[in-house]
Chain A
Amino acid sequence: MWIRKLAGAALATVGAIGLGTAAVAAEPVKIGAFLSATGPASFLGEPEKKTLEMYVERLNKDGGVLGRKIELVVYDDGGAPDKAATFAKRLIQNDGVDLIIGGSTTGTSMAAIKVVEPAGVPFISLAGGIDIIDPVKKWVFKTPHTDRMAAEKVFADMKKRGLTKIAMISEDAGFGKSGHAQSLLVAPSYGIEIVADETYSPKDPDVTAQLTKIKNTAGVQAVFNFGFGQGPAVVTKNFKQLGFTVPLYQSHGVASKDFIKLAGDAAEGVRLPAAGLVVAEQLAAADPQKPVVTAFKKEYETAFKSDVSTFAGHAYDGLQMALAAIKRANSTDKAKVRDEIEKTSGYVGTGGVVSMSATDHMGLNLSAFHMVEIQKGDWKLAD
């Protein structure tokens, strides 16, 4: 009988030791991150994690920020929204972070917002869904272009090429779902008619059924796929396999060489909107982004011996803007830092030139988005 009491007390103690005492150290600047380094969004989360870790280490070598070291706490949510919410809670309550950069996917970001907003902690999301910042939430910001911008860029390109009747095939969750909704919203203003509309699940290994239905719809002149990670690679492969001859468009959810590797030859000729980072060498010399993206690309590729992706860039931009805000606020007081993030203006990052405001917590416009085409396994500017 007493063994039960003993077991209970022992468990509580082990639990306490295991979770660690809450760090109340005033010294280091604590930045928390929850990223999808594993799971279907791993080629978003993994480069984000590597980027954050590399730059924090480098900055600490150079003396940190405001004379204090930066402490980075990273958790892997595996792409699962409920895990993301739990980690966000843990970062805020247990690890006592000053600011959060994270949420590789729209799903994980939206889940974390429910924790971050009531707690009053600045959160810079690395995901694409427009719902993250529209309607504007006090504590939430984001670095990547929105899905609506991707749709607009793609539709503009389609209109230029005279493709007006198209089919959509999108993921039924998160970014893909949100992007699909945005596409339906903006298509009419570009004169685009969506004649076939299919969905698939992010972990589906095969979408030939959906693509077959699209193939059998008359008058389809192009196909637009909204998703990220493995899904679009499967779509692209099946697309080629079924012998489609019309163009395939993707969103910026695939702006990584991992996509090209997975999709193989099938990726040839695919068009997508991407941040200037992936076509750094091809940017005009006068483009203000050129020096920034060229430098980042070189640093990333030297350090990790793998190709840079826009996702790494999103994390880099998030970190830089956060630290700049902390410097301007001259403290880590959450409210002050939040105000300074909102005042970010003219920041030249890998995603574009960022100018935020009280009503715009992203700060990018369409000019920062370039249409690229995949040729010979590499990105080619097609603006």
Chain B
Amino acid sequence: MMLSPRTGGLAALAFVVSLAPAFFPNAYFYDVAVNALFNAVVCVGLNLLIGYGGQISLGHAGFFALGAYGSAILTGTHGMSPLAALAVSAAAVGVLAFVVGRPILRLKGHYLAMATLGIGIIIHIVLKTESQITGGPDGIGVDPFTVLGLAVSGDKAWYWVGAGLLLFSVWTSLNLIDSPMGRALRAVHGSEVGAEVVGVDTGRYKVLVFTLSAVFASVVGSLFAHKNGFITPDIGSFFRSIELVTMVVLGGMASTFGAVVGAVILTLLPQMLASFEDYEAMVLGGIMMGTMIFMPKGLLPSLRAAFKRRRAAP
């Protein structure tokens, strides 16, 4: 029974996600799992940009942080409803990404990397400095997430929210990839000049996917803020941006499920190494280097290729 990769994969993901909690011995596992799910959603969005769009963003944690702080400040100081705050923050981040994206995405390679890096760091510094509004490096508390009077509280509830969001974003991503926009993106990734020659408006598509991935990050950021109840500017740090890119690249660029796998692995890793946190940085760095040198396509596509070869051999 050969299901198409899309439905089959989605079903498998839904299966794993529903079954996983049975293995959780205590509430802390839910907390880690929620973080993994949230990271996975951000990575699915980032993968559209890096894997399919062929661009790089070393500042994506900045958009995540803006979404988080937007929600925190709008619901806290201004008493907006969490859903509205989430939407407003996402819209604001979208506009910012669009405005900033036009000039930035004209750059290529290292210059593009540096520009996105700059944006991310500037956002981080602003969040740290404007302590009147953001609470500064000490962070800011966040009200719980309520919809129509019902509060989402407790890690179990957030787990199902995260799972639902992940399935939705994976489905969206898979559909996008097969849409005209997706095909345009893949053309740009393959050869930008070639795509332009064929009449693809590369600039427009690049900005669109950049904005979309930024909005993904912002929405997750808002939810993260409510779930955590407390955020600090470090959620938007350069290190976090690198972590996100590594998740996408580790799991497999241009592979939606790869992004999910990468996110899960790299969220679990620091937890497993918590007793060896002395070595955590070395392991992370080692993984980054090792994957890029030996499996430049990432985990999932490389496994898939190896699997195909074995199947093909008589």
Chain B residues at the A interface, C-beta cutoff of 8 Å: 3, 5, 8-9, 12-13, 15-17, 19-20, 23-29, 31-32, 128-129, 131, 136-139, 141, 228-232, 234-235, 257, 261, 264-265, 268, 271-272, 274, 277, 303-304, 307
Contacts and interface: CB of A to CB of B under 8 A. Distances in A.
A21 B24 CA distance: 9
Given A1-B5, A18-B268, A173-B136, A12 B141 contact: no
15 contacts: A1-B12, A3-B303, A3-B307, A4-B16, A16-B29, A85-B228, A89-B31, A94-B26, A106-B138, A114-B141, A114-B229, A172-B131, A172-B137, A173-B138, A174-B137
Nearest to B268: A15
B271 A76 contact: no
Interface string A156-178: 00000000000000001110010
Given A4-B257, A172-B136, A11 B265 contact: yes
A201 B128 contact: yes
Interface in A1-53: 1-5, 7-9, 11-16, 18-19, 21-22
Contacts of B16: 4-5, 8-9, 12
A111 interface: yes
B131 A4 contact: no
Given A80-B232, A81-B232, A85-B230, A174 B138 contact: yes
Given A18-B272, A89-B28, A93-B27, A8 B137 contact: no
A4 B272 contact: no
Contact of A111 (B139, B257, B264): B139
Nearest to A73: B275
Interface of A: 1-5, 7-9, 11-16, 18-19, 21-22, 75-76, 80-82, 85-87, 89-90, 93-94, 106-107, 110-111, 114, 172-174, 177, 201-202
Contact of A22 (B5, B19, B25, B230): B25
A1 B300 CA distance: 11
Given A12-B23, A177-B138, A80 B3 contact: no
Contacts of B230: 81-82, 85, 111, 114
A19 B13 contact: no
Contact of B235 (A21, A75, A82, A90): A82
A79 to B, nearest CB: 10
* 10 shortest interchain CB distances as A-B pairs: A8-B16, A18-B272, A173-B137, A93-B28, A94-B28, A22-B26, A93-B27, A4-B12, A1-B8, A12-B20
Contacts, number: 116
Q: Specify which of A7, A14, A90 lies most central, judged by the most chain B CB atoms within 10 Å of its CB.
A: A7
B139 A4 contact: no
Given A4-B257, A21-B25, A90-B274, A80 B268 contact: no
Given A5-B16, A8-B12, A110 B138 contact: yes
Contacts of A11: 261, 264-265, 268
Given A22-B28, A93-B26, A107-B138, 9 more contacts: A7-B261, A8-B15, A18-B272, A22-B25, A80-B232, A94-B26, A111-B139, A174-B137, A202-B137
Contact of B13 (A8, A15, A172): A8
Contact of B136 (A8, A21, A177): A177
A182 to B, nearest CB: 15
Contacts of B3: 1
A82 B32 contact: no
A75 B28 CA distance: 15
Nearest to A75: B274
A80 to B, nearest CB: 6
Contacts of A107: 137-139
B27 A81 contact: no
Given A1-B9, A12-B20, A172-B131, A19 B307 contact: no
B271 A9 contact: no
Q: Specify which of B138, B139, B231 lies most central, judged by the most chain A CB atoms within 10 Å of its CB.
A: B138
B28 A82 contact: no
Contacts of A82: 139, 228, 230-232, 234-235
A111 B139 CA distance: 8
Contact of A80 (B29, B141, B234): B234
B267 to A, nearest CB: 9
B89 to A, nearest CB: 19
